[in-house]
Structures are given as structure tokens and as C-alpha cells.
Amino acid sequence: MIIMLVLLAAILLVGGWFFTTYNSLVSLKVRVENAWSQIDVQLKRRHDLIPNLVEAVKGYMNYEKDTLERVIKARNQAIDASSIKDKAQAENFLSSTLKSLFAVVERYPDLKANQNVLKLQEELTSTENKISFARQYYNDEAGRFNTQILIVPGNIVAGAVGFTQRDFFQIEDKTEKEVPQVKF
């Protein structure tokens, strides 16, 4: 009788522990997914802004057609990318082409004097910042989730229900905090 009771208590205890751990892991997972959708929103915003910028500067830049074409190409690639790793790579490429576009803009005084171009540039800078903040938030959350499913109580539960580690959204640049800074 006593053994039965002890066994029952043990089962209840283990079950309770299992479910609380599982629940906390799930809530972490939801936060990671939420963070990922944030990045997506910002990436889409950037993809929408780029054609406007290209349109605005096109008239001024007769000799820089290939820079513009590269930006457009990078943008289309970024839209097509699907997995996290592909996306990260495509967005990195897009960022670097944008950087060179902004460098070109610097050389055209007419462009710098155009409030419309300046506005678009500010919007893009802001979006770049938002992307990097969203990425930072996503990486923080993903890191927390990954730690939880690796350390001892979590890894048992994660193994049982099949939670896997999330990829980080990384950029190749060593200077993590450096966003392409636009000088007006």
C-alpha cells in the first residue's frame, strides 16, 4: 500500500515536472517564432523600399547603372530565399550592395540636396537598424531556447518531444553592432 502511494506520488511528481518543463520550453519556442516574424516584417519593408530608392536616384545616375542593377538583383535574390541560412546570406549581400549605393549617392551633390532621396535614405537606414535590432532580439531568444533544450532538465523533455536547436541569424561582418551608416 505504502509502496503504491510512494509510486503514485513519484509518478505525479515526475509528470508535473515534465509538463512544467515542457510548457516553459513551448513558451520560449513561441517567443523565438514571434521574434522571427518580426525580422520578416522588417525585411519585407526593406524589399519594398528599395525600388522606390532606385527609382528616385535613377535619373541622376547615368554612369552607375551597374550599381543599381546589382541592388535590384540582390533584392530579388533576398525575396526568393527561404531557409534561415539562405536568407541571412542574401540579406548580407543586399546590405553590402546598398552600402555601395549609398557611397555612390555621396558623390552626387544633387542627390544629397534632394529631400525625397534623403527621406528614402532615412527610411532605409531606419529599416536597416530595425532589421539588426530584430535580428539581435531573435538571436537572444533563440540562444535562450537553445540553452534550455541543451541543459539537463530541458534536454530530456526536448529529446522526448523532438525540439531541435534554432539557427542563429548571423551576418558575416565581425562588427556585429555596425549597421551600414549613412552619411548625409
Q: How far apart are CA 47 and CA 32, in angstroms?
A: 23
Output 7 or 26, the one with its CB closest to another protein: 26
- C-alpha cell recorded at residue 46: 526593406
Among 23, 34, 76, 147, binds another protein (CB under 8 A): 34
Task: Kindly give the interhelix angle for 2-58 and 65-80, rounded to the nearest 10 degrees.
Answer: 160
Pattern 41-70, another protein, x by CB under 8 A: -x----------------------------
Q: Does 74 bind another protein (CB under 8 A)?
A: no
Least distance CB 31 / another protein (angstroms): 8
Q: Does 177 bind another protein (CB under 8 A)?
A: yes
Output 100 or 136, the one with its CB closest to another protein: 136
Q: Match 513558451 to its residue by C-alpha cell.
A: 27
Output 64 or 128, the one with its CB closest to another protein: 128
Least distance CB 127 / another protein (angstroms): 9
Q: What angle do CA 49, 50, 53 make, to 5 degrees?
A: 90
Composition of the chain by helix, strand, coil, percent to 5: 80, 0, 20
Helix boundaries (H) for 151-167:
152-161
Residue 44: which of 94, 85, 105, 116 has the closest Cα? 94
The residues that touch another protein, with contacts defined as CB under 8 A, are 31, 34-35, 38, 42, 109-110, 112-115, 118-119, 122-123, 125-126, 129-130, 133-134, 136-137, 176-177, 183-184
